[in-house]
Chains A and B, each alone.
Chain A
Amino acid sequence: MAQGVLTGNREAFFSTIRQNIKTPPGGKAPRVENPMNGLFTQRETNAQERRELRERFIHEWTTLGGKAFSIKNRTELGQTIKQIIQERQLQRVMRWDHPELEKLKLEDIFSDTQASLSRWPLEKNYSDWIGKAAAMEAGIVWGDMVMAETGTLVLPAASPGQPASISVLPLTLIAIFTTAQLVDGFSAVVKSFKERFGTDLPTTTTFISGPSRTTDIEMVLTIGVHGSRFVYALILDEET
């Protein structure tokens, strides 16, 4: 990647800052060591604890206005997806190009319905894919990590096949994951990100906690202003 360009007088910009920063009595405030310590749940979990986290997540997600399904097997997965297609009257759906979604053979499920399923990328050219993406009625993503305490999907665009557009453009968002993806909250996410990415974060990482909402008119809650109005979480057991 070519280096970017800096505009403006760096020396002049920083000279005022450096001139004005004064060391207070007792020295400058040190960097806070372990800033998350004691504030967030920190633990390793086993399969049973993650099933409990599933219930916690479902509670948070539904309170936020989403729908969640605990899926026992592939048959139930197919039935639930068909139910959503019916409920939302879906015709056009797009999905991430993700190995876990590949394993689920979603195309077979869709082949039996009124809806078509397209895998990203829709087109190579910007002006072509943007029109197609805008016409999609639902997007399917894989929940890379899922924070139970806040009902949050963690979606890093860890590869080109996992764009932000799929999770924010369509009216309906469907997130599929297993209980293995469930964590308590931020502690586990930060630990995982440090191990996987260090400071070289993906181009985009989005934390999604429910459907799009606003209270900008008379403080009345309205769901689905710009992002998804209908959000579904399909949770498979990790031992399925």
Chain B
Amino acid sequence: MHIEPSFRKRYHKALSDTAMLKAVKNGTGRLRGQRATAVEAVGAERWMEFRNRAEAIRMHVIQHLDQYLEQLIDNVLKKGGHVCLAKTGEEAVQYISELAKKKNAKSILKSKSMVSEEIHLNPALEKQGCKVIESDLGEWIIQLAGETPSHIIAPAMHKNRFQVADLFNAVSEEKIPTEIADLCGYARKYLREKFLGIDIGITGCNFALADSGAITLCTNEGNARIISALSPTLVTIMGMERILPGLEELTVMLSLLARSATGQKLTVYNTLSTGVRKEEELDGPQEFHLVIVDNGRSRQLGTKYEKILNCIRCGSCLNACPVYRNIGGHAYGWVYPGPIGAVLSPLYQGMDKYGELAYATTLCGACTFACPVKIPLHDMLYALRNDKVELEKTGELAEDIAYKGWSATFASMSRYRFSIRMARRFQFPLVKAEKIAFGPPPISDWLKHRDMPALPNKFFHEIWPEMNKDRKE
């Protein structure tokens, strides 16, 4: 799928898609409201304590990542599971592709995995003749549409029921009505048939537990649980940072994840799976493969961006972000949208390709406040801007001149006062009813959506001496 390389073109396209914008505003509004209700029920103080605890847990794990990964690997291997250490996305894809070939797998069912999107797993498997089907409803919808997810937890948020009906009718032998209950009913029937013919199941991993070698799968639909129960061969793909020491730490994360994502106390299905089934058990995989992916994560360790690895992929920063809410997820151009995406994309994929996303922010800090593990997202976005300028050393010439001019003017009282007196004189043609609603570039873009108050006849520093004189007299 071709992604437009220019962020400006991507977001202009998004801004013209009124149906999508309406859906995103509606969706993020609901999720934000549900989260707020859940946080209120917990209580502000207790919620802050949860966040502090979660931040401390994640920081400890990231700073001891090697130790916990080694423990996890040993426990998975001890229980008969196989482990693939994939430094790059390509290595992960190669391993899974070779496994599918070895198993002569035709039908592969997947539950949600952002990492699998990162590494473009589906196209590689389809190229060798595997039928890969996304089992999460939202992921299946966008798979049928040939699109990428537009939200971390609601991947088809940008679609309405009519668009979904069109997609389902393209694969269905009977006509599916546009009622949401009917659409979901069709999805259940269609995907249930696929579950029952599964050769390989592929899941993501919400959290791996180092001390037991267990992986945790969290879904509201139950699809990941069905996959882990019915797959003869199960593959779990995890970003290497998605690890916790054990069960106690997991309870803290699960309590935060659900509330932050959707306002629920817990996701409907939380499954702990240790991989290969025991000999006397009938359901569960005979073969389990844990694919641990680096793909740029280790590069963040020991840097000012290290805390980005704390992320638990709840999506609450997206719902809080005024930029995301007004341009949707596809404008970000890669797998991860919103504030988390604006930081991860340049870090994982390169400044040259995604450095512009450091400007996809008002730096309001809503994302940082919403984050359950207290990642300082807006600070990171500011740091990325600095890095981008340092790296390129060429900022835009006009912007450079403008900032130097502004700096020189505002550094001197006399120059400042002279400049605003001149501005007051020259604003005259642009003023209507004490407002400036249009102007030349570059302010014309800014004025398209807002009016600026006209400069007053007298500034405060001109009024004050007169007022003071009156007072003294």
Genuine A/B complex: yes
Among B232, B271, B276, which residue has the most Cβ atoms of chain A within 10 A?
B271
In contact, B87 and A214 (Cβ under 8 angstroms): no
In contact, B252 and A204 (Cβ under 8 angstroms): no
Within 8 A of A (CB), among B68-97: 69-70, 73, 75-87, 91, 95
Residues A225 and B228 in contact in the complex (CB < 8 Å), given A29-B63, A204-B271, A212-B220: no
* Other-chain contact of B60, A31, A36, A60 (Cβ < 8 Å): A31
In contact, B78 and A168 (Cβ under 8 angstroms): no
* Other-chain contact of A36, B161, B191, B248 (Cβ < 8 Å): B248
B340 at the interface (CB under 8 A from A): no
In contact, B222 and A168 (Cβ under 8 angstroms): yes
Within 8 A of B (CB), among A114-143: 120-121, 124, 126, 129-131, 134
A72 at the interface (CB under 8 A from B): no
In contact, A227 and B221 (Cβ under 8 angstroms): yes
B64 at the interface (CB under 8 A from A): yes
In contact, B63 and A219 (Cβ under 8 angstroms): no
* Other-chain contact of B249, A29, A35, A121 (Cβ < 8 Å): A35
A182 at the interface (CB under 8 A from B): no
A 1-37 binary contact with B (CB < 8 Å = 1; else 0): 1111111111011101110111110001111101110
In contact, A16 and B221 (Cβ under 8 angstroms): no
Chain B residue numbers with a CB within 8 Å of A219 are 26-27, 30-31, 154, 157
Residues A210 and B180 in contact in the complex (CB < 8 Å), given A32-B53, A224-B188: no
B281 at the interface (CB under 8 A from A): yes
* Other-chain contact of A207, B83, B141, B266 (Cβ < 8 Å): B266
* Other-chain contact of B271, A163, A194, A205, A222 (Cβ < 8 Å): A205
| Docked CA distance A3–B81 (Å) | 7
**Given known contacts A164-B271, A168-B222, A227-B269, what 20 new A-B pairs fall within 8 Å (CB)?**
A1-B79, A4-B82, A6-B83, A16-B294, A21-B64, A30-B60, A40-B251, A40-B255, A120-B282, A165-B230, A168-B269, A190-B248, A199-B211, A206-B272, A208-B268, A212-B222, A216-B155, A218-B26, A225-B187, A225-B221
Q: How far is the CB of A171 from chain B (nearest CB, A)?
A: 9
Within 8 A of A (CB), among B226-263: 226, 228-230, 232, 240, 245-249, 251-252, 255, 262
Which A residue sits closest to B183, measured CB to CB? A217
In contact, B183 and A7 (Cβ under 8 angstroms): no
In contact, B265 and A150 (Cβ under 8 angstroms): yes
Q: How far is the CB of B303 from chain A (nearest CB, A)?
A: 8
In contact, A22 and B248 (Cβ under 8 angstroms): no
Chain A interface residue number, banded:
35 or more
* Other-chain contact of A206, B63, B82, B183, B225 (Cβ < 8 Å): B225
Within 8 A of B (CB), among A180-235: 186, 190, 193-194, 199-220, 222, 224-228
| Docked CA distance A8–B49 (Å) | 40
In contact, A206 and B271 (Cβ under 8 angstroms): yes
Chain B residue numbers with a CB within 8 Å of A164 are 225, 228-229, 271, 283-284
Residues A214 and B221 in contact in the complex (CB < 8 Å), given A7-B84, A32-B53, A164-B228: yes
- The 7 A-B pairs of least Cβ separation, nearest first, read A227-B222, A8-B85, A22-B302, A216-B138, A20-B301, A186-B251, A1-B80
Within 8 A of A (CB), among B194-213: 195-196, 211-212
Which B residue sits closest to A166, measured CB to CB? B283
In contact, A130 and B230 (Cβ under 8 angstroms): yes
| Docked CA distance A179–B49 (Å) | 31
| Docked CA distance A186–B267 (Å) | 14
| Docked CA distance A217–B63 (Å) | 40
* Other-chain contact of A226, B66, B70, B79, B222 (Cβ < 8 Å): B222
Chain A residue numbers with a CB within 8 Å of B156 are 216-217
A85 at the interface (CB under 8 A from B): no
Within 8 A of A (CB), among B122-147: 135-138, 141
Chain A residue numbers with a CB within 8 Å of B225 are 164, 168, 206, 227
| Docked CA distance A120–B196 (Å) | 18
Q: How far is the CB of A75 from chain B (nearest CB, A)?
A: 33
B278 at the interface (CB under 8 A from A): yes
Chain A residue numbers with a CB within 8 Å of B3 are none
A38 at the interface (CB under 8 A from B): yes
Q: How far is the CB of B19 from chain A (nearest CB, A)?
A: 11
Among A3, A131, A149, A199, which residue has the most Cβ atoms of chain B within 10 A?
A199
Report 24 cross-chain contacts, Cβ distance below 8 Å, ordered by A residue.
Answer: A1-B79, A2-B80, A4-B83, A7-B84, A14-B66, A16-B87, A21-B66, A29-B60, A34-B248, A36-B251, A39-B46, A160-B282, A163-B281, A168-B229, A199-B211, A201-B212, A204-B229, A214-B137, A214-B221, A216-B137, A216-B154, A217-B164, A222-B181, A226-B223
| Docked CA distance A216–B151 (Å) | 11
B270 at the interface (CB under 8 A from A): yes
Which B residue sits closest to A157, measured CB to CB? B281
| Docked CA distance A35–B60 (Å) | 12
Which B residue sits closest to A120, measured CB to CB? B282
Chain A residue numbers with a CB within 8 Å of B282 are 120-121, 124, 126, 129, 160, 163
| Docked CA distance A34–B248 (Å) | 8
Chain A residue numbers with a CB within 8 Å of B155 are 216
| Docked CA distance A10–B240 (Å) | 13
| Docked CA distance A207–B267 (Å) | 9
In contact, A6 and B53 (Cβ under 8 angstroms): no
